[in-house]
């Protein structure tokens, strides 16, 4: 099975900061990597698919990069509504999937 | 826009089974798969398995194999997830989600809390 490891597990930042969350796959997954945002008590929301493609309606301050085994989700200028948990997910082994353990982004 | 509407919260005894439903409001699954993901309190997302109704194929995560059954009724655009031999560790919110052909989860249900307790 492909393992997905996110870092950091938690992160404190301020409004206006630029932040980056990293996701590493245990083997090459090409660009089959997706990112989600989840707020407390809500279902996850798709942000980025195929490593770098922005889902419709998602603000352009979110971006994704990487391929192979190393990927990054970047938020260029944090807004108050961005404080949430973030998850990566590999779809290289469709129809089986794996999520990262999550990154909790908190207000400093 | 696709809306997935799940059944309500459940409280179950250890050893029993639970069946959660997920109805697509637009009336069709098209050729997409419906997958189930669970989240224990304070924990991350855990993929359980999925079904592609058009092809009647299922795939389950190894750790749930033998305990989970995912089905779909195309006539009512409803998918189901049944988990058996429940234990306290199965207490979680269970989500259904539509999965695109590229493997990303683009539409999610609102979640169903299943509590396993004596």
- Quote the DSSP letter at residue A30: T
CA distance B79 to chain A (A): 17
Q: Model confidence at A63, in pLDDT bands (50, 70, 90)?
A: very high
A29 pLDDT exceeds 90? yes
B111 pLDDT exceeds 70? yes
Q: Over the stretch A94-108, which tens digit does the pLDDT of each residue have?
A: 999 999 999 999 998
Q: Are B38 and B86 in contact (CB under 8 A)?
A: no
Q: Tokens for A92, please give them.
A: 């290289």
Average pLDDT of A58-66?
98
Q: Do the Cβ atoms of A102 and B110 come within 8 Å?
A: no
Burial pattern A68-87, b for ≥16 Cβ within 10 A else e, equals: ebebbbebeebeeebbbbbb
pLDDT of residue A90: 98
Q: Over the stretch B21-80, which tens digit does the pLDDT of each residue have?
A: 999 987 567 789 999 999 999 999 999 999 998 888 999 999 999 999 999 998 899 999
* pLDDT above 90: percentage of residues in chain A: 98
Q: Which residues contact A12 (CB under 8 A, 6 or more apart)?
A: A106, A107, A108
CA distance B6 to B26: 14
B105: nearest CB among A1, A46, A95: A46
CA distance A38 to chain B (A): 10
Q: Do the Cβ atoms of A96 and B47 come within 8 Å?
A: yes
CA distance A107 to B80: 38
Q: Do the Cβ atoms of B45 and A87 come within 8 Å?
A: yes
Sort strands A103-107 and A10-13 into parallel, antiparallel or unpaired: parallel
Question: Chain A residues with CB inside 8 Å of B1's CB?
Answer: none
Q: Over the stretch B85-105, which tens digit does the pLDDT of each residue have?
A: 999 999 999 999 999 999 999
A36 pLDDT exceeds 70? yes
Q: Do the Cβ atoms of B102 and A99 come within 8 Å?
A: no
Q: Over the stretch A77-91, which tens digit does the pLDDT of each residue have?
A: 999 999 999 999 999
pLDDT of residue B82: 98
Q: Do the Cβ atoms of A89 and B111 come within 8 Å?
A: no
pLDDT of residue B14: 98
Q: Which residues contact B99 (CB under 8 A, 6 or more apart)?
A: A95, A97, B32, B33, B34, B35, B50, B105, B106
The DSSP line for B27-94 is S--TT-EEEEEEE-TT---EEEEEEETTTTEEEE-GGGTTTEEEEEEGGGTEEEEEE-S--GGG-EEE
Number of cross-chain residue pairs from A and B with Cβ atoms under 8 Å apart: 66
Angle at A88 between CA B48 and CA A103, to 5 degrees: 105
């Amino acid at each position: 099975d492909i393992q997905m490891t996110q870092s950091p597990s938690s992160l404190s930042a301020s409004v206006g900061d630029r932040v980056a969350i990293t996701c590493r796959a245990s083997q090459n997954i090409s660009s089959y990597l997706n990112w989600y945002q989840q707020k407390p008590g809500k279902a996850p929301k798709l942000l980025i698919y195929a490593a770098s493609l922005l889902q419709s309606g998602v603000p352009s301050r979110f971006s994704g990069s990487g391929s192979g085994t190393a990927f990054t989700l970047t938020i260029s200028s944090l807004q108050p509504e961005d404080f949430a948990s973030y998850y990566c997910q590999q779809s290289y082994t469709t129809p089986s999937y794996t999520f990262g353990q999550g990154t909790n982004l908190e207000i400093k | 826009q696709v809306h997935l509407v799940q059944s309500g919260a459940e409280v179950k005894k250890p050893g029993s089974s639970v069946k959660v439903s997920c109805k697509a409001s637009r009336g069709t699954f098209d050729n997409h798969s419906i997958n189930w993901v669970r989240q224990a309190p304070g924990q991350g997302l855990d993929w359980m398995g999925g079904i592609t109704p058009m092809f009647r194929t299922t795939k389950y995560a190894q750790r749930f194999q033998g305990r989970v059954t995912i089905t779909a009724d195309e006539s009512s655009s409803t998918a189901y997830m049944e988990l058996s031999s429940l234990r306290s560790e199965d207490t979680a919110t269970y989500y259904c989600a539509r999965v695109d052909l590229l493997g990303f989860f683009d539409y999610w249900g609102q979640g169903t809390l299943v509590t396993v307790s004596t």
